Homo-oligomer: A and B are copies of this chain.
Amino acid sequence: MGTKGSVNRQRIVEAADHLFYSRGYNQTSFSDISDETGIPRGNFYYYFKTKEDILAAVVDSRLSIFRQMLQECDRVSTDPGERLLAFAQMPVQNEQQILQYGCPIGTLSSELVKDQDHGISKARLTAVFDLLRDWCEARFKELGYTEQARDYALDLIAKMQGMSIIANVYNDAAFLHRTTNDIQQWIQQITSAQH
């Protein structure tokens, strides 16, 4: 592999990913990434032209992570309802992260939407949301809902986003579990009503 596959480059992206998540993009400086990787600040510019280029790489990284998660959901079962239930289970599996830092895509989007001068395209910003939405929409369509599939998909993601915010603000694990159950019941309701 070439320059893009450099070990140092990958380490920078991993450290930045973690720091952007735990501190926020704008609150993470090159010094922070340098401290965590041991790679000197000035060296970053050999791998990335700007800080936003690092952000783009981080977003791409999260994108592929979520793609893997969806694949795992697909592996659980061939039944679309079961797959959606597995999808809804995700936040519980990452409980500690959600409670401490919130949803990795929800919080990042909320932060970046406020930046008026972000060179990063809005398309890239919503790419992860699109990925999840389209996957959910496809499952609901398989359940027989051709018209309502997209609405259901957005509803599901919105429910999970709201859950993550409240669980994060109040650091409330019980709420996370209870609401996950509610969401899964909502899915089963739609599943059993299928036609």
Contacts and interface: CB of A to CB of B under 8 A. Distances in A.
For the residues of A in contact with B, the DSSP-based class is helix
A149 to B, nearest CB: 14
Interface string A117-154: 00000000110010000000000000000000001001
Interface in A143-176: 151, 154-155, 157-163, 165-166, 168-170, 175
A37 interface: no
Given A27-B114, A114-B23, A179-B155, A165 B169 contact: no
A110 B21 CA distance: 11
Contacts of A23: 114-116
Given A23-B114, A24-B114, A159 B161 contact: no
A138 B182 CA distance: 22
A87 to B, nearest CB: 15
A28 B185 CA distance: 43
Contact of A109 (B111, B125, B169): B169
A109 to B, nearest CB: 5
A101 interface: yes
A151 B178 contact: yes
Contact of A115 (B27, B157, B168): B27
A111 B113 contact: no
A136 B157 CA distance: 24
A119 to B, nearest CB: 15
